[in-house]
Each structure stands twice: as structure tokens, then as C-alpha cells.
Amino acid sequence: MSIDFSKKLTARETPIPGVVLYDLPVHGDNRGWFKENWQREKMVSLGLPDFRPVQNNISFNEKAGTTRGIHAEPWDKFISVATGRIFGAWVDLREGPSFGTVFTAVMDASQAIFIPRGVGNAFQTLEDNTAYTYLVNDHWSAEAQGQYTFLNLADETSAIQWPISLELAELSDKDKAHPRLADVVPMPGKKILVVGADGQLGKALRELYDGDESVEFAGRAEFDLGNEDAYKALNWKNYSTIINAAAYTAVDNAETTAGRAAAWAVNVSAVSHLARTAVEHDLTLVHVSSDYVFDGGRDAHDEGEPFTPLGVYGQTKAAGDAIVSVVPRHYIVRTSWVIGDGNNFVKTMANLALRGVKPSVVNDQTGRLSFAADIASGIRHLLESGTTYGTYNLTNDGAPQTWADIAAVVYELLGVSGQAVTGVSTAEYFRDKEAAPRPLNSTLDLSKIASQGYIARNSKEALEEYVRGLRSQEER
């Protein structure tokens, strides 16, 4: 076999998304040759996904004309030739617009190809004593074999031009019996798992992803974040992302003995389980943070500000953020004053307005509302746009307001004079009450997420829409 010893390590895109053909440097002399078949640092810098291989398999083929495939497995593969030469054929068998796309190439020991999960792999040997190697990122199991997707080598739609006619080639009976493309069930993509899916954000995510079978939702009954067995029960290779919408948010109760333990259990210990799972299985972890990680001493808080939590709730949220920050693929989404489908400040003010109550409301805490529907939309933007991993502030936009300002607007939207709302200081409001300390300024700087193409909806517009929804529910 003649090998080109002058090649440099290069990558070539193919018509199948994610399938990349690599030329490998081969060093040789009169004794033979040597190559770095897998060199993580060099190949990752060239764009190869760091797909964490765990098993290496070799297929030895005694005769030219041996033909194997077309098999799509539920894992990624880095394929190369150890000895000999092959004609390789790859067909996209994943759900999506590229389903059925074909790529073929003749490969020798100086080349390798990356095949993502769900792309069918086949080859035909062009020389005797050919060895074909697979570096894969999951261990073979009988369970995994049940997730394979197959295509017949002679499929007329794919119309692969095999160098050696299939009638003359060496095929297995199983490969001969595989279905044509029209009868292939595409391999579904990896899923997003939303945990804590019964809270305000969880409900907004359910509505946003309604009908999308690639997103699973789990409330406390379906997935107990604090139970190690819950993590062992899932095959994480079938998931790409976890969105953690769960949190302990009883700010005042967190200052009690029982509340402190509960807050640390949900906001820290459970988060550590999620983070470990994300690291072990190379998942993206989306975690929702809070303005309470800051003391409110700045006019606007940006993502780089050091943590300065005032109370137990803020301390647990800061600890959770620190844990998530070590996950290689993470988004920490920092919000404030969340409003969604559930008990919240706006709903409380609306009920008071409709009952004719004239409340006293805090007027020295400043911030912006974060509507759960907009947080959900922002999370989807981060995931779908491929934005750089890290922390992003995500609230609604507009001029910062106090709680008293917002209450007055709610009253006005319901046809009640905003003069019914009386402003009081935080100290006065909580006098003689057991309450957690609160940041006086919760305004979050939105410039970072805006630079990534997400423009937050104006809080005035969002509040008007939300109150209209409350009014229509009341009328029903």
C-alpha cells in the first residue's frame, strides 16, 4: 500500500452535517509507518468534538469485497483504517432535513472520519487483510443494540455505487435483510430534560415546548433531584441538556432551622448531583440563578460581580452557581422578581385591587420583573443559538421600578386608582416581623445577553399582557 507521508492534519466537511473527513499525518521509512490515530489536543483544536471515547473496536476483514453496514448506532464514532483500503459509505439516518443524505469516500490508513450518533456507517474492503477501527464514546450493550437504526446496502434511494457489486461481495444475511430508506424509522435526536417542571418557569417551558417530543418534563413526582436512584434510572446518553427549573424560593422561611436545611438541600446538594451528571455525561446544564446572590449595593449588577449574598436563600443560590460554573457546558441564567403561572406579587396585587384593598407596598427596593415566559424564551435562545457558555442576566427590559411602582401600575391596569397603593420602606414594612434581608437594588445589566442576539421584552408590555390574562381568567 502506498501512503502519502507528506500530509498535514486537516479537516474536510462533507454533505452530512457533523460528518468530517480528516487527513492524518503518517510518518514512515524503510521499516514501515507510524501515525497518531487519535490525538485529542490537536484534533479538538481543529474542530473535532471532544466526544470522550471509551471503547476501541477493530473489524478485521480477510478478503477484498467484504461489505458491512449500513448501521447507525446511538453513539459517536471516530473511524479509521489500520491496514488496507476501504470504500466507505455514510447515510444520515437522523430525524431532520438531512435525513437520507449520502457521503462516500475511499480511505486508507492516512485518513479518518468522525461519524455523529445516528449516521449510518458502512464500508467495503478494497484490499485483502483490511482492518477497520472504531473509537466510540459509549460501551456496547444489549440495550443499546435495540436503539440501532439500519438501512439496506442495496437501497435504491441512496443509490450507493459500490466498487464491487453487492452480488459479488461478501455480505451477512442480516445486512441483506435490512429495510429500504422508505421504511426506516429515523433515529430521534438527543433530548432536553426539564426538571422542576411544575413551578412557574417549568410551566412556561412546558408551554413554550408544547408538542416538541425532544423535550421531556419531570416534576418532583417524576424526578426527585435529591435521590441518587433517580439519576441511575435514566440513560443519560439519550439526553443533550438538563434545564434545572427547580429551586427553594421561600426567602424568609430559609432563615429558620428547617428552612435553612431545605434551601441547602434543593439549591445546593441537588444542584451538585445535576452538575456531576452533566460532567460525567458531557451534557449542557442550564441553571437558574437569582439577584439575591448580590447585596444590592450597585446601580446595576453585571455577570462578573463577586457574590455578596445577604441571607440564607442568597447564600444557597450563590453556592449553586459556583457548583454549576465548573460544568464545561453550562448556562447560568440570572433572574429577578419572577412572575408566571403561580402565586406571585402581580397576582397578589391584582387580587387586592379587585377586592378594593389599599395596600402598603415597599418603595425602596428597585429592580425589574422577569416573566417566566420570557425567561423560557431566553433559555431557548441560548440553547439554539450556540451562544458561548457562561452566566447571563435575563430579566425583562425597561426602566427599573420599585415594588410600589409595579403595584400602582397593576391597579391602574385593572381600572383602580394607583393612589390606593401606599409606599413604605423595607424597614417599616418588616418591622416586628421575622424576615430575611433583601437587596435594595436588584437591577441586572442585560448588555451581555443582548450582545448574543436576545433582546428582552419590555417589562411594561409584558406586565400589561399578563394582567389582561388575569382579567380574562377572572371574567371566566
Could you write out the DSSP letters of every residue in 19-74?
Answer: -EEEE--EEEETTEEEE-S--HHHHHHTT-------EEEEEEE-STTBEEEEEE-S
CA-based nearest residue to 304, from 391, 389, 368: 391
CA-based nearest residue to 389, from 476, 448, 328, 315: 328
Those residues whose C-beta lies under 8 Å from the C-beta of residue 227, and which sit 6 or more positions away, are none
Q: What angle do CA 62, 65, 67 make, to 5 degrees?
A: 90
How much is the pLDDT for 144? 66
Cell representation of residue 225: 433531584
Phi and psi at 368, nearest 5°, equal -130, 145
- The pLDDT of 188-210, averaged and rounded, is 96
Q: Is the pTM of this model over 0.85?
A: yes
pLDDT of 50 > 90? The answer is no
Cell representation of residue 308: 455578596
Phi and psi at 339, nearest 5°, equal -130, 125
pLDDT of 31 > 90? The answer is no
- The pLDDT of 286-291, averaged and rounded, is 98
pLDDT, mean over the chain: 94
pLDDT of 141 > 80? The answer is no
Residue 2: which pLDDT band, with cuts at 50, 70 and 90? low
CATH class of this structure's domain 191-475: alpha beta
- What percent of the chain lies above the pLDDT cut of 70? 97
Residues with catalytic roles: 71, 134
CA–CA gap between residue 422 and residue 299 (Å, rounded): 24
Cell representation of residue 436: 430575611
pLDDT of 142 > 80? The answer is no
Q: Are 441 and 297 in contact (CB under 8 A)?
A: yes
Fold of the domain spanning 10-183: Jelly Rolls (2.60.120)
Sequence letter at residue 392: Y
pLDDT of 452 > 60? The answer is yes
Q: Are 439 and 403 in contact (CB under 8 A)?
A: no
pLDDT tens, position by position, 71-80: 999 999 999 9
CA-based nearest residue to 102, from 155, 150, 158, 149: 158
How many Cβ atoms are within 10 Å of 306's Cβ, its own excluded?
Answer: 7
Find the radius of gyration of the CA atoms of the chain.
28
CA–CA gap between residue 270 and residue 228 (Å, rounded): 9
How much is the pLDDT for 476? 61
Q: Are 265 and 273 in contact (CB under 8 A)?
A: no
Phi and psi at 429, nearest 5°, equal -65, -40
CA–CA gap between residue 415 and residue 421 (Å, rounded): 13
How much is the pLDDT for 473? 76
Residue 115, strand partner residues: 77
- The pLDDT of 246-250, averaged and rounded, is 96
- The pLDDT of 377-382, averaged and rounded, is 98
Q: From residue 332, how far is each of 1, 335, 376, 383 by CA, in Å?
A: 53, 10, 13, 12
Task: Count Cβ neighbours within 10 Å for each residue of 31-51 and write b for 16 or more, e otherwise.
Answer: eeeebebbeeeebeeeebeeb
Domain residue spans of the chain: 10-183, 191-475
Phi and psi at 292, nearest 5°, equal -70, -5
Least confident of 27-36, 230-239, 245-254, 323-332: 27-36
CA–CA gap between residue 154 and residue 176 (Å, rounded): 8
CA–CA gap between residue 210 and residue 343 (Å, rounded): 22
Sequence letter at residue 195: V
CA–CA gap between residue 252 and residue 433 (Å, rounded): 10
Which of the 8 DSSP states describes residue 422? E
- The pLDDT of 228-248, averaged and rounded, is 94
How much is the pLDDT for 28? 81
Least confident of 137-151, 313-327, 347-361: 137-151
Those residues whose C-beta lies under 8 Å from the C-beta of residue 330, and which sit 6 or more positions away, are 278, 284, 285, 286, 287, 324, 389, 390
Residue 139 CA from chain centroid, whole number? 23
User: Which residue's entry shows cell 417530543?
Assistant: 213
pLDDT tens, position by position, 383-439: 999 899 999 999 999 999 999 999 999 999 999 999 999 999 999 999 988 899 999
pLDDT of 1 > 80? The answer is no
70: preceding bond cis by omega (within 30 degrees): yes
Assign 218 to helix, strand or coil.
Answer: strand
Assign 140 to helix, strand or coil.
Answer: coil
Residue 278, strand partner residues: none
How much is the pLDDT for 357? 96
- The pLDDT of 315-337, averaged and rounded, is 98
